[in-house]
Chains A and B, each alone.
Chain A
Amino acid sequence: MGVLNDVYEMLNTCNKCGFCLTACKTYKTDLREPMSPRGRIQLIKKLVDGVIEPDRDYEDAINSCLLCGECAVACPSGVKGNELVLAARRDLKLRHGIKPFAKSFALKTLASPSRLEHGFNFFKGVGKGILKKVDGLDYFRGVDIRNMPVAEKPFLEQVPEQITVSNPQKKVAFFVGCFLNHSLDGTAHSVVKVLTKNNCDVILPKDQVCCGLPQYAYGDFERAKANARKTIESFLDCKPDAVLTACASCGSMLRDEYLKLFADEPGYLPRVKEFCAKVFEFSEFVEDQIKLDESKLKAHTSVKVTYHDPCHMARHLKITSQPRKVLRSIPRLQFVEMNEANRCCGASGLVQAFYHELSTDITRQKTQNIVDSGAEVVATSCPACMLRIQGGLNFAGKKQTVVHVADLLAKAYED
């Protein structure tokens, strides 16, 4: 109960004005009060007050939150609904572990590199084949199974540990992340290409593990900490000028959440701070740290592109202008804004698997906004959003494709 007692003052600060209702995609889609930030906050408070039990319905309210952070922006009193939900998930983990089994298994698999690789290999080989043979299972829980890419070989096995350039200006350690390593390896190559074209030495620590966000988001701080510690040590050992990630979710974990995670270890905190200060997200690094020489970018076929702000980008890392600047700097790229560009795509880690109907409805709103914008290509900065949105577009029979900002920029360096 300690976890929730620690946040009780914030729970008590919610005066139920309801300004968060419109900000919340799960509420606007489902329209039941327990699916709203106000509803979740009041339930957490009632749990602490001993009025309700942490039953299945309570867990559904807590676990269906997208953690998108929009409620915190909308709240006049500065209550951070997403942080309260995180505390509630931590409390649930401490009470009885992570339920159901499938979720706890998924989180353990993600945390271990070897189990993760086996998982992807199975999916690539047998699993996908089986799923494809089952009639009507092209789309499993809103994810486009048939077209979900799996790397032939993990990205980290395709590249050397260090890639050097002739005139190095910066030494960048690339935190690849699970999705770019196992699924969207092409995007990982795009990142390396942009870095080397801009005179950066790239280090690719082979022992890198999951950043710990999936475990952290469900309250398994122990496992998250173990992975965080491994990450911090292996990257600081390389003595890089910068630690770069092309995944908004990993970015928010590496830069911001690690500080919160280790707040209770003052002895280790300086090391964490040293690490966090070096973390940059791809577009941010390109715009703010290296001067992009636009004259080196080559023109290709004209294309109309819109940008989707991942939650972790817009509200956690607060990086919104840089990816747009990168896109606008690409020759013959016509940039258009979509409606609600910074609203959640519905992926949110395991929410899409465990609350797939809700998640699919939210994705549908995103794909509609994309179609309405008239764009042919959607660029974004998070592989989880990429897979989710592409699945949604395919599901709706739309032709638009989803790429990473790095993919478009890397292409501009090709002849």
Chain B
Amino acid sequence: MTDKEIIEQLKKIVGEKNVQADKIGLTSYGYDATLLSGVGLAAVFPLSTEHVVKLVKLANEAGFSLIPRGAGTNLSGGTIPDERSVTVNFNRMKKILDIDTDNFVAVVEPGLVNFDLQAELEKEGFYYPPDPASYKATTLGGNLGECSGGPRCFKYGVTRDYILGLEVVLPNGKVIQTGGRNFNSEPEYDLTRIIVGSEGTLALITKIFLRILPLPAAKKTMLAIYNRVEDASQTVSDIVAAGIVPTTLEMMDNLLINTAEDATGAGLPRDAGALLIIEIDGHPEDMDEQVETIAGICKKARVREFKIARTAAEVDQLWLARRVVIGSVARRRPSYSLQDITVPRSMFPNMVSGILQIAKERNLEVGILAHAGDGNMHPLVLFDQRIEEEVERVHLAEKDICTLALELGGTMSGEHGIGLLKKKYITLEFSPVAMDCFAKIKNSFDPRHLLNPGKIMNLQS
């Protein structure tokens, strides 16, 4: 089949309006939130499971690959196409099929935006805990593919912990449902959990059964300001050691405090070394005691100022400042390299000082953002893509950071996935035997490598 014939067939399946194959369209689906890019064959917008089945069948027949895409906000090159691939945009499959508050379940299509679900749930007094910083734009299907976390995941866990079941189209064009509305996972191999976080390499998701929770009765949001980043990271270990489980323990260093303040004018202290945003939830009567304990721990770690947000507007301002961080660094330098390492909580202070040391040695500017409670850190190394020599130093620093995380017993990706960007480091973390296991899982689902080829690992075709 020629490319032209393929595009005609695609139009027959999803309709003319749901195919983009012009130069402008293809350029627009060639990037994500990384610096990588590519140009595919076409971009399509299926509207139903049936469309997806037909697309998969055509891909098998004509020998092109399929790249599932939600909003294209991923940070790992997970949706970058190549010349033999068709991008499957799920963002027009965005219906909420059911909100079942009796059973704490929501059933949705994969293209629904995380925030749009939250808004509907809130009307019923419920919420969906995983809330990545980009939740206003990202789709639930995309969150699922990358197994996104979010500020609340210290207490509530990541996407994986909230997916009860899926309807998926397998690479052979067959549809299966895994799991469902039941809280107990089905017997035998847990296909749901194998597919969650598989970055679109095993199956195309067409329906998601999510676990939802009632909104907490009370919440307190605190801001702790430090002169030294080391003191902030010490506080994190101390809070965890004291047996307190905040929903959120977010850390930002001086550089990021400043870019976030530029973006929001939230009133963050520009001269502080670091700050922590701490949030707890639960029963109203427990709040004060917990706040007091946390305040005590912060004081012991030489906190400069400890504030409690008094109004909903103050809480919103703090959260807005936190959520814009990754986007806001472009105010400083046009490009960034973002790592997603996670280390055991007790190793958090060592990792922070290690990153500062690496930045100094490589003569690079780095901002540290961390979901500190669970040891997940996003060091942002800032540079300008147009300066080649600097780019080389950035690559060296990336490797240093990943290596250090692994040395400290951590992992190189907590929630952004491997995609193309971190593929080159994956063998640092996994043994050849484990890599072989991955390859066998991939091959059992997708022997012809039709789904998101080249992501996560290189396979012999």
| Chain B interface SS verdict (over half) | mixed
Q: Do the beta carbons of B137 and A15 come within 8 Å of each other?
A: no
Determine whether B33 belongs to the interface, using a CB cutoff of 8 Å to chain A. yes
Q: How large is the interface on A (under 10, 10 to 19, 20 to 34, 35 or more residues)?
A: 20 to 34
Determine whether A14 belongs to the interface, using a CB cutoff of 8 Å to chain B. yes
Closest to B74 in A: A18
A:20-60 near B, CB below 8 Å: 21-22, 31-34, 39, 42-43, 46, 51-53, 55, 57-58
B34 to chain A: which residues have CB within 8 Å? 16
Segment at the A interface, from B278-286, B324-332, B451-459 = B324-332
Segment at the A interface, from B22-30, B102-110, B169-177, B191-199 = B22-30
Q: Do the beta carbons of B28 and A19 come within 8 Å of each other?
A: no
B324 to chain A: which residues have CB within 8 Å? 19, 76
Q: Do the beta carbons of A76 and B23 come within 8 Å of each other?
A: no
Q: Do the beta carbons of A19 and B330 come within 8 Å of each other?
A: no
Among B24, B326, B331, which residue has the most Cβ atoms of chain A within 10 A? B24
Q: Do the beta carbons of B73 and A17 come within 8 Å of each other?
A: yes
B260 to chain A: which residues have CB within 8 Å? 76
Determine whether B262 belongs to the interface, using a CB cutoff of 8 Å to chain A. yes
Chain A min CB distance to B262 (Å): 7
- With contacts A34-B24, A55-B23 taken as known, whether A76 is within 8 angstroms of B326 at the C-beta atoms is yes
Number of A-B pairs whose CB atoms are under 8 Å? 103
A12 to chain B: which residues have CB within 8 Å? 334
Q: Tell me, in angstroms, the Cα distance from A381 to B354 when the chains sit together.
A: 57
Q: Tell me, in angstroms, the Cα distance from A118 to B145 when the chains sit together.
A: 59
Q: Do the beta carbons of A76 and B28 come within 8 Å of each other?
A: no
Partner of A42, one of B27, B71, B92, B263: B27
- With contacts A17-B134, A75-B327, A76-B326 taken as known, whether A22 is within 8 angstroms of B113 at the C-beta atoms is yes
Chain B min CB distance to A69 (Å): 16
Determine whether B219 belongs to the interface, using a CB cutoff of 8 Å to chain A. no
**Count of residues in B whose CB is under 8 Å from the partner chain:** 41
B:312-358 near A, CB below 8 Å: 324-331, 334-336
Q: Do the beta carbons of B330 and A32 come within 8 Å of each other?
A: no
Determine whether A78 belongs to the interface, using a CB cutoff of 8 Å to chain B. yes
Among B137, B260, B336, which residue has the most Cβ atoms of chain A within 10 A? B137
Q: Do the beta carbons of B327 and A19 come within 8 Å of each other?
A: yes
Q: Do the beta carbons of A13 and B330 come within 8 Å of each other?
A: yes
Chain B min CB distance to A257 (Å): 24
Determine whether B32 belongs to the interface, using a CB cutoff of 8 Å to chain A. yes
Q: Do the beta carbons of A33 and B72 come within 8 Å of each other?
A: yes
Q: Do the beta carbons of A77 and B28 come within 8 Å of each other?
A: no
Contact mask for chain B residues 128-149; partner A; CB cutoff 8 A; 1 contact, 0 none: 0000001011100000000000
Q: Tell me, in angstroms, the Cα distance from A400 to B154 when the chains sit together.
A: 49
Partner of A15, one of B22, B71, B91, B334: B334
Q: Tell me, in angstroms, the Cα distance from A42 to B137 when the chains sit together.
A: 17
Partner of B28, one of A15, A18, A21, A43: A43
Chain B min CB distance to A80 (Å): 13
Q: Tell me, in angstroms, the Cα distance from A261 to B260 when the chains sit together.
A: 31
Q: Do the beta carbons of B328 and A22 come within 8 Å of each other?
A: no
Determine whether A250 belongs to the interface, using a CB cutoff of 8 Å to chain B. no
B residues at A contact (CB < 8 Å): 20, 22-25, 27-29, 31-34, 43, 45, 71-73, 89, 91-92, 113, 115, 134, 136-138, 259-260, 262-263, 324-331, 334-336
30 A-B pairs with CB atoms under 8 Å apart are A9-B334, A13-B330, A13-B331, A15-B327, A15-B330, A16-B34, A17-B73, A18-B71, A18-B73, A18-B134, A18-B137, A18-B138, A19-B324, A19-B327, A31-B89, A31-B91, A32-B20, A34-B24, A34-B25, A39-B28, A42-B31, A43-B27, A43-B28, A58-B24, A61-B24, A75-B327, A76-B330, A77-B263, A77-B328, A77-B331
A residues at B contact (CB < 8 Å): 9, 12-19, 21-22, 31-34, 39, 42-43, 46, 51-53, 55, 57-58, 61, 75-79
Q: A77-B327, A77-B328 are in contact. List 16 more A-B contacts (CB 8 A).
A: A13-B330, A13-B331, A14-B330, A17-B327, A18-B71, A19-B136, A19-B327, A21-B71, A33-B43, A34-B20, A34-B24, A43-B24, A43-B28, A52-B27, A76-B325, A76-B327
